[in-house]
Structure 1
Amino acid sequence: MTTTWVRRSAAALATALATATLVATGTAPAGATPGCTDETPPNVLLDGCDDSSPPETSVAASVTPNAAGYVNVSTVTFTLSSSVTDADTGPFGFECRLTGTPDPYDWKPCTSPVTLTGLPDVAAGGYVFSARAVDLGDAARNPDQLLGPGVVVDTPDVDQTAVSIAWGQDTKVPFVFVTRSGYDADTPTQPVMTSATVPLRLNSSEPGTTYECTDNGRPTTCTGPTWVVKDPKPGRHVVTARAVDRAGNPSAWSKPVEFFVPRNLTRSKGWSKVRNEGYFRGDALRAEKRGARLVLPRTKVGELRLLAPTGPAFGKVRVRVGRRDWHVVDLSGRRTALTQLVVIDRYSGMRSGRITIESLSSKPVVVDAVVARPNRFPPAD
């Protein structure tokens, strides 16, 4: 995309250069002397005529600095053009100036287009290219009568409001790192997360980067350095991220980071809801009669865990998938608000069907949530 810059005020120049944006320098050109569009040379007795309206300058660049003042390429081409406010037919030319590069130069004649290539990376505002149009015909003449009184002032024949473009350059692709808090001794590469939020750490090899993230392949909003996933949905989560630096260079996508969120239980006949801050999502289900059942929808199960509080007054429940064998879970013991109890470990093979949880005695039991997932896990790092 090509963008054309035109001149602005001198005050805007100081501000824009400080923020690495395009600016124009100088003041507006003076009005043309009536009837004089070219500088008439003097004769022996009379002064000539001064054209006091120099040409104006426009510059179009092959790339545009972004809001941070950066481009992400090492080649920039500037196309120069001039215009006049009177009937002057020229000829016109240009002078250019360049600072910040390994080979800077002050004002010198140049032709359009001007291409700068192979530039090293530099901070925002590190490079400044300036161009100004020149009336080549008038510049070669002095309308003042050399032997006479000399009353005609030879005003500048070069644009006094040169166009300046300032930019920074960053062509390097950043790296990104994603780390997850929380640990699970049974499945360290896919830990079960029971908190209401899941904090993830995003880091980049470059300062000032932003991040793009996906959760199960879907784009999701994220920020660094700490990204907190709030109230994640139950089930498996596969998170990836990439960093985008100040120049817009994106990194490669990170290695996937996984975690699993339990399924909260809903009330059923024979079960009442109880609340406690220590429970998963703040509530659980309680039964006090033998045979009270909870039946979950059909699913594929390679690993099954029951989340429940334990205590000396609690009884037992039994759990099965489909019509497979029952697994007895004893909830008595040391008092805890929430314990993860492995009912079927990840090495027991796949099975599918409805998950049934049933109270086994008249002692009260409380169950909180269920982890039911296939036994496919990413390898350990």
Structure 2
Amino acid sequence: MTTHRVRRSAGAAALALAASTLLTMGAAPAGATPGCTDESQPKDPILGLPTGDGCDDDTPPDTLLTASAPPNAAGLVATASQTFTFDSRVSDGDSGPFGFECKLTGGPQAHDWQACASPVTLTGLADASAGSYVFEVRAVDLEDRSRTPDNVLVPPTVTDTPDEDPTPASVAWGQDTRAPFVFVSRGAYDEDTPTQPVMTSATVPLRLNSSEPSSTFECTDNGTPTTCTGPKWELARPRPGRHVVTARAIDRAGNASAWSKPVEFFVPDNLTRSRGWRTVRGAGYFRGDALRTEKRGARLVLPRAKVGELRLIAPTGPGLGKVRVRVGRRDWHVVDLAGRRTALTQLTVIDRYSGMRSGRITIESLSSKPVVVDAVVARPNRFPPAD
């Protein structure tokens, strides 16, 4: 009997010790433990069974994402494929292992969160407006996700915070892979040389249009880039001579059209005053001025040129006199400026069918009657073909 009482007393003491241990463990605060990177529950070294709660790693990994074709300011890319590379970053020294989950919104390839590995390439995407596609990726702490720090047998409950990045990295974009078309036209018409009209205005009006709204334009003038805007553009104060203008359209995604067919025009040479002539000014003159003389035999001599067509730009009117013009030592051509009052009249001295000649261009007054000359068109007689 005595032995029996001793054993019962020993058993009661053991139960009391166990209860004391449970109460002590249960008194530990719930939640994350500073510096915790492993949510494993502590185990009995002999039996290998959980003996309490583990700590909660509440610092999930961050996600870094890079797109092979980042969308531009309009939210668009000009390619039908995208490659995404991504990585994880931790701030608490956690050694992982880490994995990733990806999600795609938009298009037939769309899917919810699923395991993925870097890089991810998407191909064959259809053109769509900005924001139509969204690729998201989040880093996951795989080891912590596979376990919970809470031991259901030991109170209190330890909350297991998410083990994936709560703010996934993402790229939203639209797609436009088709280049626009560009259309360039000029407003001026020249009956004699319609494919290379003579422009006497201070600016040359041109129209630029694209098959895609909101396109911008790039232009060249004689091969040199020049700033231009559509749909109406004016080339200000172009230099004398032949001009060849081309343009292309750039859509919102950055796709460029082919360069347009060349558009040509010709700008006259303004005349420089010499002895016997004086400068007169007025809004109706080419470049705002012209030369006037009442002296018989007063001459203007221009630099040597190859000439297949020669036009004299001058006003006409009652009481005006005559001038004569020649190239080099070829025949003189008389031009009568008397007649109905006009401004910026283009008087053909040598037409385009009279062959080429070269030399200095001389303009001479034939009487004491007043004459006014404004500008000269001297150019070869080869012009682009009509469309």
TM-score when scaled to structure 1?
0.89
Paired amino acid for 1:208: S
Map Cα deviations across residues 77-107 of structure 1 (whole Å, 9 max, x no partner): 1112112222322221111111122221121
Paired amino acid for 1:184: D
Paired amino acid for 1:149: P
**For structure 2, which runs of at least 5 residues remain unmatched after alignment?**
1-30, 43-48
Query: What is the alpha-carbon distance in structure 2 between the residues aligned to residue 80 and residue 64 of structure 1?
Result: 14
CA RMSD after TM alignment: 1.5
Map Cα deviations across residues 80-139 of structure 1 (whole Å, 9 max, x no partner): 211222232222111111112222112121122111111111112221100001111111
1:357 Cα shift? Answer: 0.5
1:35 Cα shift? Answer: 4.5
Whether the 8 Å contact between 2:35 and 2:92 is mirrored in structure 1 is no
1:308 — aligned with what? 314
Q: Against the structure 1 CA distance between its residues 141 and 353, is the aligned structure 2 distance closer, same or farther, given a 3 Å change threshold?
A: same
Aligned pairs for 1:57-136 (under 5 A) are 57-136=63-142
Rg: which structure is higher? 2
Greater fraction helix: 2
Query: What is the alpha-carbon distance in structure 1 between the residues aligned to residue 262 and residue 327 of structure 2?
Result: 30
Q: Which stretch shifts more, 79-88 or 122-131?
A: 79-88
Q: Which stretch shifts more, 214-223 or 38-47?
A: 38-47
Aligned pairs for 1:3-18 (under 5 A) are none
Map Cα deviations across residues 167-210 of structure 1 (whole Å, 9 max, x no partner): 12111111111100111111111001111011111111112221
Q: Against the structure 1 CA distance between its residues 34 and 297, is the aligned structure 2 distance closer, same or farther, given a 3 Å change threshold?
A: same
The alignment partner of 1:137 has SS state of helix
Paired amino acid for 2:259: W
Paired amino acid for 1:38: D
1:368 — aligned with what? 374
1:355 Cα shift? Answer: 0.4
Paired amino acid for 1:66: N
Query: What is the alpha-carbon distance in structure 2 between the residues aligned to residue 360 and residue 84 of structure 1?
Result: 94
Paired amino acid for 2:199: M
Whether the 8 Å contact between 1:74 and 1:117 is mirrored in structure 2 is yes
Q: Which stretch shifts more, 341-350 or 169-178?
A: 169-178
2:53 — aligned with what? 47
> Which residue of the other structure, out of 120, 134, 138, is the alignment partner of 2:144?
138
1:241 Cα shift? Answer: 0.7
Paired amino acid for 1:211: F
Aligned-pair identity (%): 75
The alignment partner of 1:78 has SS state of strand
Aligned pairs for 1:213-232 (under 5 A) are 213-232=219-238
> Which residue of the other structure, out of 263, 267, 275, is the alignment partner of 1:269?
275
Paired amino acid for 2:33: T
1:283 — aligned with what? 289
Map Cα deviations across residues 325-351 of structure 1 (whole Å, 9 max, x no partner): 000001111111221100000010000
1:156 — aligned with what? 162
2:355 — aligned with what? 349
The alignment partner of 1:108 has SS state of strand
Query: What is the alpha-carbon distance in structure 1 between the residues aligned to residue 130 and residue 231 of structure 2?
Result: 23
Paired amino acid for 1:103: Q
Query: What is the alpha-carbon distance in structure 2 between the residues aligned to residue 347 and residue 233 of structure 1?
Result: 26
The alignment partner of 2:55 has SS state of coil
Aligned pairs for 1:193-204 (under 5 A) are 193-204=199-210
**For structure 1, which runs of at least 5 residues remain unmatched after alignment?**
1-30
The alignment partner of 1:251 has SS state of coil
The alignment partner of 1:281 has SS state of helix
2:332 — aligned with what? 326
Q: Which stretch shifts more, 34-43 or 48-57?
A: 34-43
Query: What is the alpha-carbon distance in structure 1 between the residues aligned to residue 162 and residue 384 of structure 2?
Result: 73
Paired amino acid for 1:297: P
Query: What is the alpha-carbon distance in structure 2 between the residues aligned to residue 142 and residue 338 of structure 1?
Result: 92
Matched, 1:172 2:178: yes
Whether the 8 Å contact between 2:297 and 2:364 is mirrored in structure 1 is yes
Map Cα deviations across residues 318-376 of structure 1 (whole Å, 9 max, x no partner): 00000000000011111112211000000100000000001111211111110000001
Whether the 8 Å contact between 1:32 and 1:53 is mirrored in structure 2 is no
Count of residues paired in the alignment:
351
Query: What is the alpha-carbon distance in structure 2 between the residues aligned to residue 101 and residue 290 of structure 1?
Result: 83
The alignment partner of 2:144 has SS state of helix
1:32 Cα shift? Answer: 6.3
Query: What is the alpha-carbon distance in structure 2 between the residues aligned to residue 68 and residue 366 of structure 1?
Result: 56
2:7 — aligned with what? none
2:33 — aligned with what? 33
2:198 — aligned with what? 192
The alignment partner of 1:96 has SS state of strand
2:18 — aligned with what? none
Paired amino acid for 2:319: A
Query: What is the alpha-carbon distance in structure 2 between the residues aligned to residue 310 and residue 96 of structure 1?
Result: 80
Whether the 8 Å contact between 2:325 and 2:333 is mirrored in structure 1 is yes
Map Cα deviations across residues 237-281 of structure 1 (whole Å, 9 max, x no partner): 000011111222111110000011111111111111112211111
Query: What is the alpha-carbon distance in structure 1 between the residues aligned to residue 136 and residue 212 of structure 2?
Result: 30
Whether the 8 Å contact between 1:32 and 1:86 is mirrored in structure 2 is no
Deviating beyond 4 angstroms after TM superposition, the runs of 4 or more aligned structure 1 residues are 42-45
1:226 Cα shift? Answer: 1.4
